[in-house]
């Protein structure tokens, strides 16, 4: 519980720093910002490699996973779509309701609500000794699948932002190659998996994606460059590793520290939200960023509404697995409420497209609220699980 609250605390500290540092650092701030963004990408790659390491699937039984994947996809899609509709029809003036740019930007930004935080969830459920329950085993599958679905859907969303350019074909080819390698070589790479090795791999992934961007930007100009985010390459790296459990106090401390640093840097990366009102908004480079900042009391109401919508959308599993008790299905759904690093990574990627304004602030604060509530969600899951819990044969599923 302390760890989850610390995630939220570091995110909020970073957000506060993002409003103070530009004025305090003056001309040196751009250099600091470039360095912090690079470090943020390395941390994100480290986290996604570990998410990929959790992805264990029996390829001989792939058909049995199809139903779970579509349920996970719906569980990721519904909160995303609810928030897209909210951001467009509630936050934006009617003049933007039919604007394709407004829809594209909000489709990307709203995706922060889709992924469940698998790492936080698994750790807390294991601590409550629910590893042998049906709920724990099913939640493992759904949480990993909805993270994977989020990563994959980010590719067409980013292509939507780029437009119909030749880079789209190059990005599709790279993504297809990565997915093919991940599927064919899953859990075959026998490599060290301590934190030093994973951090080194994360740095290599970041260096390669950045080198691809810089080279294509030099040859074709920044507007025609190829930019592959670290999410998918890092996930595939973790996916192809032959999984080893390296669980020592030092490993846990470093992994937790990197996650804390990542949340802090996500907050630091936020743009100023207390600027020049209408005049400054009018000069912004995107529809979302062009919206003037609203009163903080109004922001709080929107955060509450978006928090409710994002979690109501996660109740999809309640409608399936009808052979299980209602309390089990509700526990499964509530377990999917947990959010964390992947959602924060989506927000950071959205920043790269100059998205901002009230919608960005509401997204960051909603993520923080969900992190604060995570302990309560997991306790709720435990209480629901204990109503019907009995140790089961691991083959039962």
Q: Are 92 and 86 in contact (CB under 8 A)?
A: no
What local confidence, expressed as pLDDT, does residue 284 receive? 57
The CA distance from 84 to 105, in Å, is: 9
Q: Looking at per-residue confidence, does 96 or 229 come out higher?
A: 96
Q: Are 29 and 37 in contact (CB under 8 A)?
A: no
- Mean pLDDT (the chain, rounded): 82
What local confidence, expressed as pLDDT, does residue 212 receive? 87
Checking if the pLDDT of 392 tops 50, the result is no
Question: 356 φ, ψ to 5°?
Answer: -165, -145
**132 lies in a domain?**
yes
- Structure letter (DSSP) for residue 89: I
Q: Are 335 and 380 in contact (CB under 8 A)?
A: no
Query: 347: left (phi > 0), else alpha (psi -120 to 50), else beta?
Result: alpha
Checking if the pLDDT of 244 tops 70, the result is yes
Q: With the CA atoms of 308, 309, 314 and 319 taken in that order, what torsion angle do they form, in degrees rounded to the nearest 10? A: 100
**110 lies in a domain?**
yes
What local confidence, expressed as pLDDT, does residue 164 receive? 63
User: Closest Cα to residue 315, out of 6, 74, 41?
Assistant: 74
Checking if the pLDDT of 187 tops 80, the result is yes
CATH number for 162:
1.20.1530
What local confidence, expressed as pLDDT, does residue 393 receive? 45
What local confidence, expressed as pLDDT, does residue 4 receive? 64
Q: pTM for the full model?
A: 0.77
The CA distance from 347 to 139, in Å, is: 24
Share of the chain above pLDDT 70, in %: 86
**396 lies in a domain?**
no
Checking if the pLDDT of 225 tops 50, the result is yes
What local confidence, expressed as pLDDT, does residue 130 receive? 62
What local confidence, expressed as pLDDT, does residue 303 receive? 94
User: Exposed e or buried b for every residue in 58-87, given b needs 16+ CB within 10 A?
Assistant: eeeeeeeeeebbebbbbbbbbbbbbbbebb
Share of the chain above pLDDT 90, in %: 21
**225 lies in a domain?**
yes
> What does the pLDDT average to over 158-181?
79
Exposed, middle or buried by CB within 10 Å (0-12, 13-18, 19+), for 28?
A: exposed
| Strand ranges (E), the chain | none
Catalogue the long-range contacts made by 313-317 (C-beta closer than 8 Å, 24 or more residues apart): 313/75, 313/78, 313/79, 313/80, 313/81, 313/82, 313/83, 313/113, 314/75, 314/78, 314/79, 314/116, 316/71, 316/74, 316/75, 316/78, 317/71, 317/75, 317/142
User: Closest Cα to residue 229, out of 50, 355, 48, 72?
Assistant: 48
The CA distance from 85 to 110, in Å, is: 9
What local confidence, expressed as pLDDT, does residue 277 receive? 47
pLDDT digits (tens, 9 = 90+) for 313-367: 999 999 998 888 888 889 888 888 887 777 877 887 888 788 888 999 999 889 8
**395 lies in a domain?**
no
Expressed as residue numbers, the domain containing 81 is 2-388
pLDDT digits (tens, 9 = 90+) for 55-68: 777 767 667 778 88
End-to-end CA distance of the chain: 29
Q: Specify which residues 241 forms β-bridges with.
A: 189
pLDDT digits (tens, 9 = 90+) for 99-119: 999 999 999 999 988 887 665
User: Closest Cα to residue 348, out of 282, 236, 265, 227?
Assistant: 265
pLDDT digits (tens, 9 = 90+) for 263-272: 888 888 877 7
Quote the distance between the C-alpha of residue 145 and its chain's center. 13
**397 lies in a domain?**
no
**394 lies in a domain?**
no
Q: Are 146 and 336 in contact (CB under 8 A)?
A: yes
Count up the domains in the chain and report the number.
1
With cut-offs at 50, 70 and 90, classify the pLDDT of residue 126. Answer: low
With cut-offs at 50, 70 and 90, classify the pLDDT of residue 48. Answer: confident
What local confidence, expressed as pLDDT, does residue 11 receive? 79
């Amino acid at each position: 519980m302390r760890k989850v609250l610390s995630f939220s605390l570091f995110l909020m500290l970073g957000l506060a720093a993002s409003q103070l540092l530009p004025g305090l650092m003056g001309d040196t701030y751009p250099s600091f910002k470039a360095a912090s963004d690079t470090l943020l990408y390395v941390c994100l790659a480290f986290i996604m490699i570990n998410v990929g390491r959790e992805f264990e699937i029996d390829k001989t039984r792939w058909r049995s996973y199809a139903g779970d994947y579509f349920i996970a996809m719906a569980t990721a899609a519904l909160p995303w779509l609810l928030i897209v509709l909210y951001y467009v029809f509630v936050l934006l003036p009617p003049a933007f309701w039919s604007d394709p740019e407004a829809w594209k930007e909000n489709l990307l930004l709203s995706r922060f609500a889709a992924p469940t935080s698998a790492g936080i969830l698994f750790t807390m459920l294991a601590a409550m000794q629910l590893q042998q329950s049906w709920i724990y085993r099913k939640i493992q599958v759904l949480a990993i699948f909805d993270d994977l679905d989020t990563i994959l859907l980010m590719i067409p969303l980013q292509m939507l932002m780029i437009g119909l350019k030749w880079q789209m074909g190059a990005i599709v080819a790279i993504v297809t190659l990565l997915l093919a390698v991940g599927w064919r070589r899953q859990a075959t790479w026998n490599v060290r998996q301590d934190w030093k090795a994973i951090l080194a791999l994360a740095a290599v992934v970041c260096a390669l994606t950045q080198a691809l961007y810089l080279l294509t930007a030099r040859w074709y100009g920044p507007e025609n460059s190829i930019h592959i985010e670290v999410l998918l390459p890092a996930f595939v790296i973790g996916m192809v590793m032959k999984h080893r459990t390296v669980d020592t106090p030092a490993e846990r401390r470093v992994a937790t520290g990197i996650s804390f640093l990542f949340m802090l840097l996500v907050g630091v990366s936020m743009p100023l939200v207390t600027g020049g009102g209408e005049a400054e908004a009018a000069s912004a480079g995107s529809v979302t960023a062009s919206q003037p900042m609203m009163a903080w009391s109004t922001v709080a109401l929107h955060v509450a509404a978006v928090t409710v919508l994002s979690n109501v959308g996660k109740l999809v599993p309640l409608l399936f697995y009808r052979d299980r008790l209602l309390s089990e299905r509700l526990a499964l759904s509530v377990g999917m409420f947990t959010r964390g690093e992947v959602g924060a990574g989506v927000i950071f990627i959205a920043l790269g497209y100059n998205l901002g304004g009230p919608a960005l602030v509401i997204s960051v604060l909603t993520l923080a609220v969900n992190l604060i509530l995570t302990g309560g969600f997991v306790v709720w899951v435990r209480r629901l699980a204990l109503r019907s819990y009995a140790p089961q044969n691991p083959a039962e599923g």
